[in-house]
């Protein structure tokens, strides 16, 4: 009798451990959660800095120019994104935040321009 109870407990424990070790998708790792709140904030900070720089210099400036004028923080936390700035004279600019690792195809690419409106390009599936 004790052996049957012990065997039943062992079997139940083994089943529980096996069930806990599985993810809902089989052996796939859980999906990575992408937090782009800080990236959006950084894009808006750059857009505001560009507007200030435009007033000061009658043109838009590079990211380096904005840092030299102390309009941007020196080392923001960009959380796996690279930022690129494209300037169109005094007509406008576009700042693009793209995943630094091309293996992160599920991460969105974000942009902001002189209107300070952020756009999010769909994630590559």
Say what the pTM is: 0.69
pLDDT tens track for 64-115: 999 999 999 766 667 789 999 999 988 999 999 999 888 887 889 999 999 9
Specify the higher pLDDT residue, 73 or 49: 49
In order of 33, 80, 88, 121, the CA distances from 37 in angstroms are 12, 13, 27, 15
CB count within 10 Å of CB 97 equals: 26
């Amino acid at each position: 009798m004790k052996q049957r109870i012990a065997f039943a407990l062992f079997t139940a424990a083994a089943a529980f451990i096996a069930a806990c070790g599985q993810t809902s998708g089989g052996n796939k790792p859980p999906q990575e959660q992408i937090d782009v709140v800080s990236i959006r904030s950084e894009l808006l900070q750059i857009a505001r800095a560009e507007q200030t720089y435009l007033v000061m210099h009658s043109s838009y400036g590079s990211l380096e120019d904005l840092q030299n004028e102390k309009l941007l923080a020196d080392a923001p936390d960009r959380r796996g994104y690279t930022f690129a700035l494209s300037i169109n004279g005094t007509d406008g600019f576009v700042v693009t935040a793209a995943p630094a690792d091309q293996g992160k195809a599920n991460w969105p690419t974000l942009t902001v321009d002189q209107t300070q409106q952020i756009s999010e390009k769909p994630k590559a599936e």
